[in-house]
Amino acid sequence: MKPLHKKLIQGQLDATLARLACMRDVQRPARGWLRAVREALGMSGRQFAWRLGVSAPWITALEKKELAGAVTINTMRQAAEALDCVFVYAVIPRESLAAIVRRRAEALAAKRLARVSHSMLLEAQQLSDTEQQKAFAVEVEALMWEMPKELWDEL
């Protein structure tokens, strides 16, 4: 994929995810979302089971599976519908995607420039601090623009 397309996709996704940032700190209720919503609606497990088309013991198992993280996305979607709710699934970064890429680009740039600096030191051609900072900034920007596959390799 071309760098411009990568940047456009990243920017669009960052804008979408920014609207969800407030969800980052939302904690699941102690007894799970399904049970919390069901109880808040005043719905019994038997009534929920009827709406979902399953047996009452299956609801108990479902609510336990949710707590254990062992329920499928499709099942959560169906259960939410039975509660007249919408199931929302998202992966929300702790910071913007651009910031994550920048941090990784800085780490890779530092690694690359450390190798070059060592070689230049051995050849008595070391850059000044100002030149090193400029070279680092240029390398970071190039990595952020290109986003090469090696950006996410082990450093």
pLDDT per residue as tens digits for the range 44-103:
999 999 999 999 999 999 999 999 999 999 999 999 999 999 999 999 999 999 999 999
pLDDT per residue as tens digits for the range 42-58:
999 999 999 999 999 99
Cβ-based neighbour number of residue 87 at 10 Å: 16
| Single-letter amino acid, residue 62 | L
How many C-alpha atoms does 132 have within 13 Å on its Cβ side?
A: 16
How far, in Å, CA of 5 to CA of 86, rounded?
A: 32
22 class by beta-carbon count within 10 Å (0-12 exposed, 13-18 middle, 19+ buried): exposed
pLDDT of 122 over the 50 cut: no
| Single-letter amino acid, residue 109 | A
**Per-residue pLDDT at 127:** 64
